[in-house]
Structure 1
């Protein structure tokens, strides 16, 4: 009978099931090693990557059949299935002056008979909270209507039922200053300061920009949402149609001037398929690394089972069983455990995903969408789990096929047949993988992972060579270490997977540690000063005058008497809405993003002589005289043209910008670092029709150098007043990553010590005859502890050292890429220049020291501590 015949496989599986039930602890360990990664992968596929819909541009339709918008004068437009519209010239459509939106009656008349519509609008508004002003997206729609079902979930309070009521998003409520917009708070929205009371909290589905507030229809006037916009759906209608909306209906409505957003599902292009395929391709190296780790982790456990069943294999062999029979019986363990663990892991992941979805939604503050099982991905992950089980059992199965029945049944040690082999393939893979890793620096992280995987495969092939070299180096070491090294070489089939598993885990930890530590170092390089050294700044451009009075009093309470408190303001409309200024960087009147502007003013500050002295860093009578004459003081004289400076203004809410401000100016260069671009007096602002609102309070270090303790007390007091103000003491700060390194250290301890302990227990079992011989010749009881400690030290040290050396290259390659944000150079005149930030490479020496020194020693101490010191006596066996 062929061992691969159906009945032979069934018999092997029955034998494997019987042995699995007999060794419950080992079976549970193997099931956990294979099943937990499968459960984690399935959980990630079903929970973490679930998105609520695919449309990221238009209003969420919920249970509606369509969402439409339009204006008189749009007749004859065309659109695609997603609702992207254009006119006959191919330009986007938006309402022009005089092109009013359709009314509810007009929209209803254009739809199929029996259709029902409700208004829906959204826009960006500035609103006043008890802690200051905020700006956010407001959606106005009746959430009680069935058409809104699926776009939100009420988590607290109730839904709005009348104009002037709203619900706040859970994402907004998760912020530190959540009480500012909590249920029960009344907000004043827009320029007209219409009162809106928050009556509940809701999670909103992810579809474009999630709203901060959802108000009941009529809370805000329709024209407050701006002109009709086909892309933003700023003023639209949700449609409940008695019959499906067809593509012919869409074309007919287009001819009348209506845009239908995501109406005909069967006409939607499958534009997500390439991205999904791309995501799967990018995930291949990570899945392969996980598969390799599972194989290396479970391999020693299967080897333990093979060793314990050696007498069973010997009995099968003496009864006529061929090596193929023995190999089939042993590899049936991998098949059985792989199938059972994969099934249990997939089931656990599928059960955990819907249970964890509410928690994930609560943390994110948004709905993740309906629970959907990607069965193809789940099947692929489960299949990989089965393959991992088979691969993990492959080496023990080969060893089982070489069982010497005479040696096993007579109680003698089997003659080992493992050889180090020729390191040609491993060397080629290591060289090729390392070269590819170096070449991947600065490119997509998936290329780095792929090249690191090639290097890992080569190192796994070279582990027997490393073991042989270790044994030669240990020739002059004490007996326990010498015995451990030679025992590792003699039993390469058991030791090599354990060392490779430790090495693979350490490679991943070192790579992540180097990349993460380098990101923190790069962040410290990108951190720029926002004020002179020692200056104390309290910034809050969205605070009301009443809040500023309370903040000002709190700051003065902590400062010594007589210390001046400089006040900086920014331009605002007559109603008090702040205006952001765009000041030219140079004579070409080009503008750069002002990322160093702590006050949020755009570089234009309104203030008096004390503010001018602060930004100039010196006393300048000429600049003071110009300020008194009503001329702006420009810190970069090059931008003054024909004695004037041109300043563009923009409102914070995206409304229509006021005309540029052109003023006669005087240029004065600052001493050292400048902290503004232009300083104007309040009289100049008022003369040109603008108000000035406080945006910053400053304590000049030339007047008083604020101690850290004083700054801490001021920050605590300000935090109790409002969460929308920032207190900053300008001192050199180095961002830390202690928590990140601690997490990596804990993961390293769990993985390295866990894998080492399994391999050490197996080594102790196999070394029992040698220990018996030592006892017979008079070895002291402590020898056994020393031998076990040496075995643990060899496995952990060799795996950790090889892993650290192999993990540095991918870690550096992952970190060797431009920073996500450019470095900011602030010149002496207050202007900023952004330049690409050079990669910063930082090695986490503490983590490497733990891996190379701490954990191997801890593994050795653990092996000695949990081993009985009493040596076994030789046993006589009947012959």
Structure 2
């Protein structure tokens, strides 16, 4: 122990002397620990959200709702699994009646919440509106005001941060419900995620109680928050159940042991390969820095050796660096990560759009990350420590170069690991990512073992190269203990970047994964969609579009069914589809039915069809999938609201007509048919048919800008085929590659330049020009970066291809020939796609930049050799 304490004191003293090197090592070890600690604290730090509460209790002791007809009901502790007689008649409790049933001194305030259709300056919106007094202490903890003030009178509201926009900002007046009650937005708030977070929260009295729907014990749309002088126990809950009240009590819920989490996180086999890759990268990153420290302290090690220090003592002194830096960096990194997660909570909440749970750092996971950082520090210092234990004191103190052992690594085990890892990567394609990462880690370990042999092979091939490159290659082979970790570190980073690039490029080549990225209309179509706009806004949009189009260009109008009050009614038809496909709304967002004239029908069918036009004029539905027609009729299920009472059905005479090519709707009817069946219509889309006029891109941009100024709820789209680009891929991976590859190469080059100083002095003595030193250092950087990049690119292809073929990402949305959107399995893309631009960046650009940086940041004047006393 005394030897360890002395070694730690020596290490601490040298750390103070070499502040820049110490800071570099601390960053290499501490930043990964800080990143992992931040992610763990940010993701798992907030306490679990209660799954069973329907409304956040805040500072209230209980939440109650009920009616006189619900007497003798039963419930569970969460206010669910309610058993009652289901009587249609309801006589809700009044505030005085509820207060009388509670303990003396109790206080209650009303709360209600339901779905509302409300009007904004840019159009309609459907969302949850909560009615409660947020100023009351019982509401504390359910929200956090971020802008403006709280509602203080009927007709005032705060908007949720997730719904904040130009049409819902403070100062805007909204109109909610059938009666169009005005609601003036006075603030913005973040809300608790318990239950269903509201879009708007209004002051009591802003909306009538009848607007929140029918009283139902399973919904709690009408309830009361309770402040009690004592906790509400389970006995109190059962007593109140006898009177017909459903109760959610804080005391009861807090007394229940928490459920087992539904997701316990990744298992050890899934997380182990990623931990191994992180450790390997940190070890390879920090290894050259520790090697540089050993080189600078070689005289110190020699003095200890000549004074009786054994190889074990020298090894302990060198390992103390790893222990000291590992502990310091891990503790600082863990504290930085946890502290950053705590400080970032307001920003995380703002980005998430809701309040996070109480902060509780996952100390066990953070401690594990810190322990891994300490292990990484010790492993990084292990090879330099072994080299320090072999210090030749005579050579060091006399100023001569130490004779190193010419090791070629362990090629046979390395070859075995590379072959086994590559084969396992090929086999793991289509399986979990954990297996692919494990296979890639095995391959990486094999390549690390092969790196010294690769360096030796490169040195033998460099005989015909110019002097700087020949010297750099032979110097790398002569000092493999210093060069191999640097090359392996570059290689490991490039493997990860190449694998990500191949996966990304393959996904791009396979086609888009989302509906908006697929064709939404015939090529060349200009469409303006948005079923939530008012008629006045549509008139303004129509005028703006016509102002940019040539005269006589028809503007096709597509409508959808609506109730007499103007609420859109979404239509759906039963369709015979394979079991592995899921029905989705059509691209017009109108359900399965469009309402319009023969111009719309021609656009949908992509041809003139007199039979279909005649059927439309006869009052029949023109259906693009005849399979849904039964006995000459089609049945439409209509939904005009969120509740089951808002659902209706409509049966119409129909005729089946197949579209030419893709069908861009499911069914079309005339406006007169909608009026005959008691329905109105609202505009859902305006279309410029490419058969009439192909809108230029510049005109479409002007139309989009004009429509955006009118309403943010209208979407302008010009249907043109756009090839998927990989610009984002190059930017993200290019920045990561530049930081990792250039950073590691510069550290290794500094170490190589320091060790090759005697050779450079000899060159100067025999008449070498000043630029030779720059050329030699540039060659050393080029050899390290090029060897690591080329090997990494070749090794990264296999895991990249295996990850790209993962089945979980092969579900894409397409439009079938009958106009039905469906999720299908993708497999028509290429087996893999190589991002050649990224490969060129890694193999050509970055090595040349590393060589240029080595030449620029190196002094050109060579030092003369010093005469040493004999």
Query: Which of residues 399, 414, 419 in structure 1 aligns to 2:407?
Result: 419
Q: Aligned pair in 2 of structure 1 residues 556, 225: CA closer, same or farther (>3 Å)?
A: same
Query: Which runs of no fewer than 5 residues in structure 2 stay unpaired?
Result: none
Q: Residues of 2 paired with 1:437 and 1:186: CA distance?
A: 59
Residue 451 (structure 1) aligned to one of 439, 442, 450: 439
Q: 2:159 aligns with which of 168, 178, 186?
A: 168
One of 125, 133, 146 as aligned partner of 1:142: 133
Task: Give 1:232 deviation, angstroms.
Answer: 4.5
Q: Structure 2: how far apart are the matches of 1:558 and 1:589?
A: 46
Which among 56, 61, 66 is matched to residue 65 of structure 1? 61
Once residues 799 and 102 of structure 2 are traced to their aligned partners in structure 1, the CA distance between those partners, rounded to angstroms, is 60
Superposed, 1:94-109 pairs within 5 Å as: 97-109=88-100
Secondary structure of the 1:665 match is strand
> Using the alignment, how far apart are the partners of 1:847 and 1:235 within structure 2?
59
Q: Which stretch has the larger CA shift, 472-481 or 843-852?
A: 472-481
Q: How big is the shift at 1:478?
A: 2.7
Aligned residues of 1:81 and 1:267 also touching (Cα < 8 A): no
Q: Is the 8 A contact 1:94 1:228 kept in 2?
A: no
Question: Partner of 1:90 in structure 2?
Answer: none
Deviations 1:546-604 (A, max 9, x none): 00000000000000011111111100000000011112335999995234x22211131
CA distance in 1 between partners of 2:231 and 2:355 (Å): 27
Q: Does 1:576 align with 2:572?
A: no
**Contact 2:626-2:655 within 8 A present in 1 as well:** yes
Shift of 1:333: 1.0
Q: Deviations over 1:592-618 (max 9, x none)?
A: 5234x2221113111112112221222
Structure 2 residue aligned with 1:562? 552
CA deviations over 1:359-386 (Å, ceiling 9, x no partner):
2222333222333333223322222222
> How far apart, CA to CA, are the structure 2 residues paired with 1:465 and 1:495?
12
**Counterpart secondary structure, 2:453:** helix
5+ unaligned residues in a row in structure 1: which ranges? Answer: 1-5, 88-92
Further displaced range: 835-844 or 544-553: 835-844
Instruction: Return the match for 1:379 from 362, 367, 372.
Output: 367
Aligned twin of 2:23: 28
Deviations along 1:771-796, one digit per CA (max 9) or x if unpaired, are: 22233333333332222122111111
Between the aligned partners of 1:82 and 1:446, the Cα distance in structure 2 is 38
Task: Output the CA distance in 2 between the equivalents of 1:346 and 1:863.
Answer: 34
SS in 2 for 1:275: coil
> After alignment, is 714-723 or 204-213 more displaced?
204-213
SS at match of 2:166: helix
- What's 2:625 paired with? 636
| Distance in 1, Cα, partners of 2:579 & 2:466 | 77
Residue 120 (structure 1) aligned with residue 111 (structure 2): yes
Match of 1:669 in 2: 658
1:819–1:838 CA contact under 8 A, matched in 2: no
Structure 1 residues 187-244: Cα deviation after superposition (integer angstroms, max 9, x where no partner): 1112222221111111112224322111122222333333445555433332223223
How many residue pairs match? The answer is 864
**Separation in structure 2 between the aligned mates of residue 132 and residue 362 of structure 1, nearest angstrom:** 25
Superposition RMSD on alpha carbons, in Å? Answer: 2.6
Q: What is the rounded CA distance, in whole Å, between the counterparts of 1:305 and 1:208 in structure 2? A: 58
Q: Quick one: distance in 2 between partners of 1:339 and 1:733? A: 52
Question: Could you tell me the TM-score, scaled by structure 2's length?
Answer: 0.94
2-side partners of 1:723 and 1:489: how far apart? Answer: 64
1:793-812 → structure 2 map (5 Å cutoff): 793-812=782-801
Q: State the SS of the aligned residue for 2:134.
A: coil
Distance change in 2, residues 1:110/1:523 (3 Å): farther
CA distance in structure 2 between the partners assigned to 1:729 and 1:212 by the alignment: 32
1:522/1:819 contact within 8 Å kept:
no
| 2:694 equivalent to 1:705 | yes
Q: 1:95 Cα deviation (Å)?
A: 5.7
Out of 279-288 and 511-520, give the one that drifted further: 279-288
The SS at the match of 1:384 is helix
- Counterparts of residues 461-476 of structure 1 (less than 5 Å): 461-476=449-464
Q: Shift of the alpha carbon at 1:447? A: 3.5
The 3 A distance-change label for structure 1 pair 224 and 418 is: farther
Deviation at 1:48, TM superposition (A): 4.4
> Which stretch has the larger CA shift, 289-298 or 16-25?
289-298
- The CA deviation at 1:113 is 4.0
Q: Is the 8 A contact 1:53 1:206 kept in 2?
A: no
Matched, 1:772 2:761: yes
Distance, in Å, in 1 between the alignment partners of 2:320 and 2:85 is: 68
Structure 1 residue aligned with 2:854: 863
Rounded to whole Å, the distance in 2 between the matches of 1:588 and 1:15 is 73
Q: Distance in 2 between matches of 1:241 and 1:427?
A: 73
- CA spacing shift, 1:136–1:432, aligned 2, 3 Å: farther
Stretch of structure 1 that moved more, 321-330 or 803-812: 803-812
Q: Taking structure 1 as the reference length, what is the TM-score of the superposition?
A: 0.93
Shift in CA distance, 216/679, structure 1 to aligned 2, threshold 3 Å: same
Give 3-state SS (helix, strand or coil) of 1:41's partner: helix
Corresponding residue of 1:362: 350
Distance of 1:586 and 1:24 partners within structure 2:
72
Cα distance change of structure 1 residues 827 and 282 upon mapping to structure 2, 3 Å threshold: closer
* Structure 2 SS opposite 1:135: strand
User: Post-superposition shift, 1:253?
Assistant: 4.3
- Structure 2 counterpart of 1:409: 397
CA contact (8 A) 2:581 2:824 kept: no
Within a 5 Å distance, the mapping from 1:170-319 to structure 2 comes to 170-173=161-164, 178-229=165-216, 232-254=219-241, 256-261=243-248, 263=250, 264-273=252-261, 275-278=263-266, 282-319=270-307
* 1:281-306 deviation per Cα after TM superposition (whole angstroms, max 9, x unaligned): 75444343323222211111111110
- Sort the Cα spacing of 1:431 and 1:61 in 2 relative to 1 into closer, same or farther, 3 A: farther
* Runs of 4+ residues over 6 Å off in structure 1: 587-591
Q: Distance in 2 between matches of 1:861 and 1:350?
A: 39
The one of 733, 738, 750 equivalent to 1:744 is 733
Is the 8 Å Cα contact of residues 480 and 783 (structure 1) preserved in structure 2?
Answer: yes
- Alignment partner for residue 648 of structure 1, among 614, 634, 637? 637
Distance 1:418 1:589, change over 3 A: closer
CA contact (8 A) 1:327 1:400 kept: yes
Q: Which digits, 9 at most, give the CA deviation of each residue in 1:611-650, with x for residues without a partner?
A: 1222122222222222222222222333222221111111
Task: Trace 1:557-636 onto structure 2 (pairs within 5 A).
Answer: 557-586=547-576, 593-595=583-585, 597-636=586-625
Query: 1:722-776: CA deviations, max 9, x gaps?
Result: 0000111111123434133212101111111111011011011111122222333
